[in-house]
């Protein structure tokens, strides 16, 4: 299969898959789930088939249509997008496996809709990853927002509808009011929005305009959840856990930081941005978000909300890293997208497994649960360590590069932030691990355990075991990702 | 002298207009409206617009009054009384209306004066129309030539407007025939003025003459004032008069609803067909000169046929509308 | 469409000359502008006589489809090329009546005939349910007459002829609306009739004054001759009368008050048709007159146009969207949204730049797609829901998920989400506003805020359709095909897919709009 | 001369606005339609006035006459009159239906019934 065909196929497959799943849903649940797994597998195969070529320095591209004069619907694969697409397509398989266990275990309604829309959002994610210009990126960015909205509102009760409304309003309004004008501005100034090495704005826009435009992009890309546009992320916690995993690890927030990274490298151009006021400000904003979100996380009692704030903080690592504008930090940003995905998906899978098996959502309820669900809690522990950045987990690798990048940039602020946040991460994650493993179930208020339970259904356990293995594995085998990420250095 | 007489007529018209707005009695308002129409028609005559005067008299003073009266008979003859207070809103409306009137008057000072031969209206297109009527169409009445040939497409549009109004009223009110119980005995209302001997005799004597006038106006349109619209209105008036005298039912039995519908549609189609014949014979739509060997003769034929189409449609629509109104009254 | 286009070196998409392509097969090509009007016009009287059930509808639909085919051929013929003209009765131009199809009118013809065809095609069951069968021939006849009126205006190059066809379309539209089942349709129509007639008569006064000063009725001739008398009082007054009169018909804020009730109580299908094209036709005439006839001769005209109409456009956008947010009836909600969308078109025009006009004209096309589709979906909803009140359609998405999906697609197009047609016109509008200097930034703000408001009102509908109400929780799609007439379902999806198609492959409307804008600003295409 | 030459147009202005006043200020639907007729009649007057030429005759070519008033405004107004009666007829049809449905032809009462 030629590379161009592979790009188109990787976009069309999930969308066609969505329709297929919708029809398969009429035949039977097993058929539907088999179809989901098949499509996820096929997508991963196609996307990964592009990896060797991209690693070898090729940049396959394809243009589908010219929407307006000068504005094309076009795709191009570059290292960062390759990394993102490879990550998303791989995690979809695991996530589907987990979904089967979770959705069945909790007897959720409207499962066909769930699987179909899941496929659509994966298609949109691949579109974001492969977008060759700002317009195409924006198009799929919006499709991703819209296709995940029903997933967030999946339960359909008052609370989830209200939360989904927050989700939609924040993401859509930032994208329309800030992101879109930024894009139009870019096209007007540069005459093009194509992602070009060295940046299309270089030499076209100077002075305060650069800073303003950068801020428009950063806050316009609400999916990156830089404060103060983060509230959608905790609100979206009402969604079923596989959806949370999709939001936090596979697609949505990753699409956000991915877009910011791409804009900085390929639209502004690292060199062009180096002297600008906006970049320093961005480091500051990201640092603030990291610290503030971590402190808020400390005060959470609900497990999933805690994890959500943790995500807000971790995303800003990426934003801060790329805003440092040094090569090592750039690599760190790219690798952190992957490392965080593995860790965070493990944490969410574990939280979901706990909910499925024990119907527990609050941290205080987790006393001694490690003894009932050892596999789950082991995975949770690994994920938590990765968040903190302790070896032997993937989180260590990326944090290492970001730290090194901060040294390179001579940014005291970044160094202090990373160290402080590491302490904070430990402070909110370690107590959970302690409770789960070392506290006794009947301690505290003395109420006996509500129900006797073991592990969650096997597909879920298998899935979270896999992601935990990936988290550890990434510590050792991150060479491929690093190879691809190194190619980004051309932009520095 | 005629100018002064015209000014007198117009002053009278203005007073009538204000009286129409002022009176609370709708019957009086409708009657005054008829008078206003006649005054306008007279003014038109003084302004050399004989065709328009005839039309305004037949339609404005005649048909329009009949329709308004019919509507009043079914609703009420008086506006409802309400506490009369000069509220701010009515003062505001009055103020706006006054200001706009003054602006329009202010604008008139830049306009060509009445009768000015150098006015663009006279200077630009008019000579061509007069000349071409003589040379290319060869009928005395330039108004008919412009109406039926030079701007025949407008006239087609106008026929379509009339047709649309007919369709609309029939859609809203139903046809006269369908809303009445079949075979119901003639009620007192339904019998018209049959019991009143003198009006009946006089009316019956009048009807043939009115019809004759109608046909004269129809076919004499090329030579003098008149044409399909006026003729259609006059013929409709005679049928309406017949219905008033003899009762709805009889009028309908003379010209049944189905025939009226066919007239509405057929007249429009006749007009259209004449136009399409132009295309078929290798020229443009509504080019009559290809209808015959001699172009001028072709124009005559075309004008004759489309005027017939107009007359048929107008008569059909007006009678249908009258029946639809009248059927409400007797239902 | 794309296969016919090729991209020239300046980045514009140009079409192969359509006439050369089509001429050998179409001997009547020179007559097409005339046939465009004649087909519905001559079919209307026929339809009146067709009484057997369904026949009137079938004939009307056939005529409408034929008109659509003609419009497509016309559009392909004139795009990027010289306009087609036609001398009715073969009388030369200022003396006889001239028809003229240029890029602007071609675009409008596509909208009008397309809207009519799709709505008629999908509307049979919905209309048959709303109207007793004895009244149907009248209704379908009136429908064709409305179509005649609209296309008659679009192809005409004569000021008075436009008035005549405006009256045809108006009278027929009154009938279409009065067919609504609710008695409130009648009072709404009466208000529309009064305001519409006042608007048309204002227009008549306006062209009377221009005629008085120039002695001609042909628009092109008028544009030339008016330069001698440009700044005389009657011409200024005429500009005022024409603008106000057409603004009434186009429902430009604050003269929109007839519109919400008229759209709300008309039969659903008729609403879809009228919402897609009725006001746009009036706006078309307004732009024609103000730009082609008055613009180049009356000094300061551009300033006046911008100065008076831009604030109205902005207010219309904000007020229309604002009211829509709080509206409880779906049809009224969409009607107020139309008021806002007309504001967009006017805003683009009031920039008095090529880019602005381009945006305005393109939005005419795209808004027709979005709004027509939305109203068609409402018609589909109302086949199972008791009314279009938001409470009544609560949860309907579970009953008819596919129809609802079409609603979302069209709604997104209305909001202006990328990938849909609506995005393109918003893009152009924002770009045009950004060119406008400091005030432009504020206008961009207005556009963005109102887009957000559109998100809010569309999402209110989506939420109540998805999560509220008492429609059964069966996701079983068989019930959907049973409830929604198949033709309507097809029509809904044709429009929804068109929204997507023209969001990505929009070469034809963009090319038409661009040359129309050039035309209006007085540059040769 | 100004007065004689422009008087027709002044009457047009006054009549136009008199009719318009009836349309906006009178709540009775029939009265509104009467106002509408008056409003339109004023426009007819305006057009016909501009077609008149000093010393001319009606544009019907007989013997002798050489100077004719312009036929074009007359044609336009013939059309406009017919359009006007069509509108009036449709409007009256609507009034009858409204009377049936609401039992009233006063605007404020109808609005009152629509918004209970």
Q: Say if residue B107's pLDDT is above 70.
A: yes
Q: Which segment, B111-125, B204-218, C27-41, C52-66, is predicted with the most confidence on average?
A: C52-66
In a domain, B181, yes or no: yes
Report CB contact under 8 Å: A180, C448.
yes
Q: How confident is the model at residue A357 (pLDDT cuts 50, 70, 90)?
A: confident
pLDDT in the model for residue C470: 58
Query: CB contact, 8 Å: B272 with chain C?
Result: yes
- B55 and B123 fall within a common domain: no
Chains C and A touch (3+ CB pairs under 8 A): yes
pLDDT score for A447: 55
- The more confidently predicted of residues C375 and A203 is C375
Nearest Cα residue to C142 out of C56, C65, C68, C53: C56
Higher-confidence residue of B259 and D1: namely B259
CA distance C460 to chain A (A): 10
Interface test with A, best of C358, C405, C419, C476 (most A CBs within 10 A): C419
Closest chain C residue by Cα to residue D22: C194
C171 CB neighbours in chain B (<8 A) are: 161, 164-165, 168
ipTM: 0.88
Which among B90, B162, B131 is positioned nearest to B312, based on CA atoms?
Answer: B162
Question: What is the tens place of the pLDDT at every residue in A207-263?
Answer: 778 888 999 999 999 888 888 888 888 888 888 888 888 888 778 889 999 999 999
Task: Give tens-digit pLDDT for C308-334.
Answer: 889 999 999 999 999 999 999 999 999
The pLDDT of residue C522 is: 76
Higher-scoring residue by pLDDT: C506, C478: C506
Last residue of a domain, one of B30, B60, B80: B80
Write out chain B residues lying below 8 Å of D21, CB-based.
Answer: 21, 93-94, 97
Asked if the model's pLDDT at residue A445 lies above 60, the reply is no
Tokens (6 digits) for B253: 């039995």
pLDDT of residue A384: 92
* Domains in chain C: boundaries: 304-525
Long-range contacts from C442-446, C-beta under 8 angstroms, 24+ separation: C443/C314, C443/C347, C444/A181, C446/C314, C446/C317, C446/C318, C446/C347
B153–chain C Cβ distance below 8 A for any pair:
yes
Q: What percent of chain C has pLDDT over 70?
A: 90
Any C CB within 8 A of D83 CB: yes
Average pLDDT on C467-485 reads: 59
User: Do D54 and B94 lie within an 8 Å CB cutoff?
Assistant: no
Q: Between D112 and B276, whose confidence is greater?
A: B276
Q: How many CA atoms lie within 13 A of B197 on its CB side?
A: 0
Average pLDDT rounded to a whole number, residues A83-107: 88
Which SS3 state, helix, strand or coil, does residue D57 take?
strand
Tell me if chain D has a CB within 8 Å of the CB of C171. yes
The span from the CA of B50 to the CA of B41, in Å, is 9
Cβ–Cβ below 8 Å for D98 and C171 = no
**Is 80 exceeded by the pLDDT of residue C58?**
yes
Per the domain annotation, does B41 fall within a domain? yes
pLDDT at C142 over 60: yes
| Residue A69 pLDDT | 78
In the prediction, which pLDDT does B28 show? 93
- Give the residue from B310, B323, B330, B295 showing the smallest Cα distance to B264: B310
pLDDT given at position B84: 59
pLDDT class for B80, splitting at 50, 70, 90? Answer: confident
- Confidence check: pLDDT of A93 > 60: yes
Please give the pLDDT value at position C186.
93
Q: What mean pLDDT is predicted for residues C232-247?
A: 90
- Contacts of residue B122 in chain C, CB cutoff 8 Å? 215
Instruction: Choose, out of B9, B74, B84, B108, the residue to mutate when testing the contact with D (most D CBs < 10 Å).
Output: B108
Instruction: Tell me if B151 and C141 make a contact (CB, 8 A cut-off).
Output: no
All residues of chain C having their beta carbon less than 8 Å from the beta carbon of residue A142 are 417-419
Q: Which residue in chain C has the smallest CA separation from D75?
A: C160
Position with higher pLDDT, B199 vs C390: C390
pLDDT at D12: 93
pLDDT at site C19: 42
Tell the residue number behind the tokens 């979809």, with chain if given.
A92
Is the Cβ pair B262, C49 closer than 8 Å? yes
* Average pLDDT value for chain A: 87
- Using the Cβ of B325 and the Cβ atoms of chain D, whether some distance falls under 8 Å is answered with yes
Token output for D9: 């147009």
Contact with chain C for residue B107, Cβ under 8 A = yes
Compute CA distances B124 → B119, C89, C238, D66, whole Å: 8, 20, 19, 17
- In which element (H, E) is residue C87 found? strand C84-87
Q: Do B80 and D89 touch (CB under 8 A)?
A: no
Each residue's pLDDT tens digit, A334-349: 889 989 999 999 999 9
Q: Are residues B73 and B135 in the same domain?
A: no
Measured distance CA(C191)–CA(C183) in Å, rounded: 13
Interchain contact, C193 vs D94, CB within 8 Å: yes
CA closest to D115 among chain C residues = C184
Q: Is the Cβ–Cβ distance between B310 and B227 less than 8 Å?
A: yes
Q: Which residues of B touch D79 (CB under 8 A)?
A: 154-155, 157-158
- Band of residue A106 on the pLDDT scale cut at 50, 70, 90: confident
With the C-alpha atoms ordered B284, B288, B290, B291, is the resulting torsion angle positive or negative? positive
| % residues pLDDT > 90 (chain A) | 28
- Distance, in angstroms, between C447 CA and closest chain D CA? 33
Determine the pLDDT at residue C14.
42
**A abuts D (3+ Cβ pairs < 8 Å):** no
Which B positions 84-113 lie with beta carbon below 8 A of chain D?
90, 93-94, 97-98, 100-102, 104-105, 108-109, 111-113
List Cα–Cα distances, C503 to A181, B127, C365, C417, in angstroms: 19, 53, 12, 9
Q: In Å, how far is C37's CA from the nearest CA of chain B? A: 10
The rounded distance, in Å, linking the Cα atoms of A43 and A32 is 16
Name the band, by pLDDT with cuts 50, 70 and 90, for residue C164. Answer: very high
Where do the H-state alpha helices sit in C468-523? 478-483, 486-504, 507-520
Residues in chain A: 492
Q: Work out the burial of residue C53: count CB atoms within 10 Å of its CB; fewer than 13 is exposed, 13-18 middle, 19 or more buried.
A: exposed
pLDDT at C476: 45
> For residue C24, is pLDDT > 60?
no
Q: Are residues B65 and B175 in the same domain?
A: no
Per-residue pLDDT at C389: 84
Domain limits for position B257 = 119-331
Distance CA B37, CA D19 (A): 14
Contacts of C97 in chain B (CB under 8 A): 151, 153-154
Q: Which residue has the higher pLDDT, C205 or C399?
A: C205
Question: C53 pLDDT exceeds 90?
Answer: no
Per-residue model confidence as pLDDT tens digits over D71-93: 999 999 999 999 999 999 999 99
- Average pLDDT score over residue span B164-174: 92
Q: Write the CATH number of the domain with boundaries D3-51+68-114.
A: 1.10.287.3510
Which among D89, D91, D94, D100 is the top mutation candidate for probing chain B, defined by the most B β-carbons within 10 Å of its own β-carbon?
D89
Q: What is the pLDDT averaged over residues A161-174?
A: 89
Nearest to B159, CA basis, from B278, B300, B312, B323 = B312
Q: Is A67 helix (H, G, I), strand (E, B) or coil?
A: strand
Q: What is the dihedral of CA C442, C446, C452, C456, to 10 degrees?
A: 150
The pLDDT tens digits of the residues spanning B272-330 come to: 999 999 998 888 999 998 988 899 999 999 999 999 999 999 999 999 999 888 887 76
Q: Of A312-316, B62-66, C15-19, C180-184, which range is least confident?
A: C15-19
Per-residue confidence band for C342, with pLDDT thresholds at 50, 70 and 90 = very high
- D52 and B321 within 8 Å at the Cβ level: the answer is no
For residue C277, give every residue at least 6 positions away whose Cβ sits within 8 Å of its Cβ, in sequence order, or none.
C108, C111, C112, C115, C116, C150, C368
> What average pLDDT does the segment C1-5 reach?
37
Q: Give tens-digit pLDDT for C259-281.
A: 999 999 999 999 999 999 999 99
Contact state of D68 with B114 under an 8 Å Cβ cutoff: no
Q: Is B127 on the interface with C (CB under 8 A)?
A: no
- Residue C265: per-residue pLDDT: 92
> How many distinct structural domains can be found in chain B?
2
Mean residue pLDDT of chain B comes to 86
Sign of the alpha-carbon dihedral angle for A19, A22, A24, A27: negative
B208 lies in the same domain as B133: yes
D97 touches chain C (CB under 8 A): yes
Mean pLDDT of A350-367: 85
Q: Mean pLDDT across chain D, nearest whole number? A: 89
Residue A184 has its nearest CB partner, among C424, C431, C455, at C431
Query: What band does B88 get if pLDDT is binned at 50, 70 and 90?
Result: confident
């Amino acid at each position: 299969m030629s590379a161009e065909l592979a790009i188109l196929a990787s976009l069309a497959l999930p969308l066609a898959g969505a329709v297929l799943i919708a029809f398969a849903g009429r035949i039977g649940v097993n058929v539907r789930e088999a179809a989901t797994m098949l499509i996820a597998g096929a997508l991963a195969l196609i996307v990964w088939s592009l990896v060797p070529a991209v690693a070898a320095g090729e940049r396959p591209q394809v243009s589908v249509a010219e929407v307006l004069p000068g504005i094309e619907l076009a795709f191009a694969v570059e290292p960062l997008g390759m990394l993102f697409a490879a990550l998303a397509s791989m995690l979809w398989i695991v996530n589907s496996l987990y979904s089967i266990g979770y959705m069945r275990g909790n007897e959720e309604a409207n499962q066909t809709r769930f699987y179909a829309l899941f496929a659509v959002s994966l298609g949109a994610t691949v579109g974001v990853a492969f977008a060759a210009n700002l317009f195409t990126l924006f198009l799929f960015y919006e499709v991703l927002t819209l296709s995940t909205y029903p997933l967030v509102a999946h339960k359909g009760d008052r609370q989830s509808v209200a939360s989904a409304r927050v989700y939609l309003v924040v993401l859509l309004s930032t994208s329309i009011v800030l992101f879109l004008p930024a894009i139009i501005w870019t096209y007007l100034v540069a005459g093009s929005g194509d992602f070009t090495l060295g940046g299309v704005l270089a030499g076209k826009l100077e002075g305060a305009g650069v800073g303003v435009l950068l801020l428009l992009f950063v806050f316009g890309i609400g999916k990156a959840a830089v404060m103060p546009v983060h509230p959608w992320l905790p609100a979206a916690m009402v969604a079923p856990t596989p959806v949370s995993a999709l939001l936090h690890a596979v697609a949505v927030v990753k699409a956000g930081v991915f877009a910011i990274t791409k804009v900085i490298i390929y639209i502004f151009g690292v060199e062009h941005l180096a002297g600008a006021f906006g970049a320093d400000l961005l480091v500051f904003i990201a640092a603030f978000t990291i610290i503030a979100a971590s402190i808020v996380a400390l005060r959470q009692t609900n497990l999933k909300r805690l994890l959500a704030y943790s995500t807000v903080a971790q995303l800003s690592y990426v934003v801060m890293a790329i805003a440092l504008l040094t090569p090592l930090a750039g690599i760190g940003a790219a690798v952190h997208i992957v490392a965080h995905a593995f860790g965070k998906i493990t944490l969410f899978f574990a939280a979901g497994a706990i909910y499925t098996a024990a119907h527990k959502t609050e941290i205080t309820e987790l006393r001694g649960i490690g003894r009932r669900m050892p596999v789950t809690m082991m995975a949770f522990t690994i994920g938590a360590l990765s968040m903190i950045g302790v070896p032997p987990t993937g989180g260590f690798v990326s944090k290492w590069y970001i730290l090194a990048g901060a040294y390179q940039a001579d940014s005291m602020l970044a160094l202090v932030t990373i160290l402080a946040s590491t302490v904070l991460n430990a402070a909110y994650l370690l107590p959970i691990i302690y409770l789960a493993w070392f506290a006794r179930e009947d301690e505290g208020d003395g109420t006996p355990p509500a129900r006797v339970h073991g592990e969650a259904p096997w597909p879920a356990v298998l899935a979270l075991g896999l992601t935990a293995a990936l988290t550890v594995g990434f510590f050792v085998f991150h060479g491929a990702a690093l190879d691809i990420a190194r190619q980004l250095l051309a932009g520095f | 002298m005629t100018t002064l007489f015209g000014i007198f007529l117009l002053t009278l018209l203005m007073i009538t207009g204000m009286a129409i707005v002022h009176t609370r009695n709708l019957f009086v308002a409708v009657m005054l409206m008829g008078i206003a129409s006649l005054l306008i028609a007279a003014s038109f005559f003084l302004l050399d617009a004989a065709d328009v005067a005839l039309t305004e008299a037949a339609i404005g003073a005649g048909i329009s009054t009949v329709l308004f009266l019919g509507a009043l008979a079914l609703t009420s003859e008086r506006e409802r009384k309400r506490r009369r207070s000069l509220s701010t809103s009515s003062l505001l409306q009055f103020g706006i209306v006054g200001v706009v009137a003054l602006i329009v008057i202010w604008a008139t000072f830049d306009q060509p004066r009445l009768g000015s031969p150098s006015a663009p209206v006279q200077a630009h297109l008019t000579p061509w129309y007069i000349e071409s009527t003589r040379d290319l169409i060869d009928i005395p009445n330039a108004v008919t030539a412009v109406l039926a040939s030079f701007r025949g497409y407008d006239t087609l549009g106008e026929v379509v407007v009339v047709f649309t109004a007919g369709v609309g009223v029939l859609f809203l009110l139903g046809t006269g025939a369908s809303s009445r119980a079949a075979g119901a005995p003639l009620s007192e209302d339904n019998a018209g003025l049959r019991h009143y001997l003198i009006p009946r005799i006089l009316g019956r004597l009048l009807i043939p003459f009115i019809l004759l006038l109608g046909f004269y106006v129809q076919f004499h349109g090329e030579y003098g004032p008149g044409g399909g619209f006026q003729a259609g209105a006059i013929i409709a008036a005679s049928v309406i008069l017949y219905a008033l005298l003899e009762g709805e039912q009889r009028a309908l039995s003379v010209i049944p609803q189905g025939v009226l519908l066919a007239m509405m549609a057929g007249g429009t189609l006749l007009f259209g067909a004449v136009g399409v014949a132009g295309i078929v014979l290798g020229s443009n739509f509504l080019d009559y000169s290809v209808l015959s060997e001699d172009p001028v003769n072709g124009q005559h034929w075309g004008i004759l046929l489309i005027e017939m189409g107009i007359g048929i449609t107008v008569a059909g629509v007006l009678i249908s509308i009258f029946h639809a109104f009248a059927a409400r009254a007797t239902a | 469409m794309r296969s016919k286009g090729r991209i020239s070196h300046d980045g514009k998409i140009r079409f192969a000359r359509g006439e050369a392509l089509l001429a050998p097969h179409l001997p009547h090509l020179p007559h097409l502008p005339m046939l465009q009007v004649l087909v519905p016009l001559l079919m209307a009287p026929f339809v009146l006589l067709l009484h057997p059930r369904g026949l009137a509808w079938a004939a009307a639909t056939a005529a409408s489809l034929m008109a659509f085919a003609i419009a497509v051929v016309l559009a392909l013929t004139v795009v990027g090329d010289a306009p087609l003209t036609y001398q009715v009765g073969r009388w030369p131009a200022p003396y006889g009546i001239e028809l003229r199809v240029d890029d602007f009118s071609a675009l409008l013809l596509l909208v009008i005939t397309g809207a009519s065809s799709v709505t008629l095609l999908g509307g049979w069951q919905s209309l048959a349910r709303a109207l007793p069968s004895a009244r149907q021939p009248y209704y379908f006849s009136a429908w064709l007459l409305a179509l005649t009126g609209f296309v008659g205006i679009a192809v005409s190059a004569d000021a008075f002829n436009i008035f005549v066809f405006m009256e045809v379309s108006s009278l027929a539209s009154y009938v279409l609306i009065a067919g609504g089942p609710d008695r409130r349709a009648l009072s709404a129509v009466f208000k529309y009739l009064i305001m519409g007639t006042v608007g048309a008569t204002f227009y008549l006064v306006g062209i009377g004054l221009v005629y008085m000063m120039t002695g001609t009725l042909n628009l092109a001739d008028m544009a030339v001759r008016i330069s001698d008398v440009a700044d005389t009082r009657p011409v200024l007054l005429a500009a005022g009368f024409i603008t106000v009169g057409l603004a009434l018909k186009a429902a430009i804020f604050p003269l929109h008050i007839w519109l919400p009730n008229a759209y709300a109580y008309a039969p659903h299908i008729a609403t879809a048709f009228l919402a897609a094209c009725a006001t746009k036709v009036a706006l078309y005439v307004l732009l024609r007159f103000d730009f082609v006839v008055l613009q180049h001769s009356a000094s300061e005209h551009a300033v006046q146009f911008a100065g008076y109409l831009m604030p109205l456009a902005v207010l219309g956008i904000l007020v229309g969207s604002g009211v829509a947010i709080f509206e409880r009836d779906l049809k009224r909600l969409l009607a107020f949204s139309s008021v806002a969308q007309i504001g967009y078109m006017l805003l683009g025009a009031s920039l008095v730049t090529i880019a602005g006009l381009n945006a305005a004209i393109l939005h005419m096309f795209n808004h027709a797609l979005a709004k027509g589709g939305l109203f068609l979906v409402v018609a589909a909803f109302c086949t199972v829901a008791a009314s279009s009140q938001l409470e009544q359609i609560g949860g309907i998405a579970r009953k008819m998920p596919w129809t609802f999906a079409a609603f979302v697609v069209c709604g997104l197009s209305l909001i202006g989400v990328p990938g849909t047609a609506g995005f393109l016109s918003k893009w152009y509008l924002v770009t045009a506003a950004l060119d406008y200097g400091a005030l432009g930034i504020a206008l961009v703000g207005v556009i963005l805020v109102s887009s957000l408001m559109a998100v809010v009102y569309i999402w209110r509908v989506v939420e109540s359709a998805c999560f509220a109400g008492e429609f059964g929780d069966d996701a079983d799609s068989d019930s959907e095909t049973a409830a929604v007439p198949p033709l309507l379902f097809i029509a809904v999806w044709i429009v929804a897919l068109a929204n997507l198609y023209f969001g990505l492959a929009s070469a034809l409307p963009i090319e038409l709009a661009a040359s129309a804008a050039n035309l209006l600003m007085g540059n040769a295409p | 001369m100004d007065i004689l030459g422009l008087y027709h147009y002044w009457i047009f202005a006054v009549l136009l606005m008199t009719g318009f006043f009836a349309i906006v200020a009178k709540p009775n639907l029939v009265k509104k339609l009467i106002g509408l007729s008056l409003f339109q009649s004023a426009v007819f007057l305006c057009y016909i006035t501009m077609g008149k030429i000093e010393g001319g005759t009606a544009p019907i070519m007989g013997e002798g006459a050489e100077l004719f008033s312009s036929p074009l405004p007359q044609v336009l107004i013939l059309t406009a009159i017919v359009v006007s009666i069509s509108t009036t007829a449709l409007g009256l049809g609507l009034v009858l239906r409204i009377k049936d449905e609401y039992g009233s032809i006063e605007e404020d009462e109808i609005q009152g019934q629509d918004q209970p």
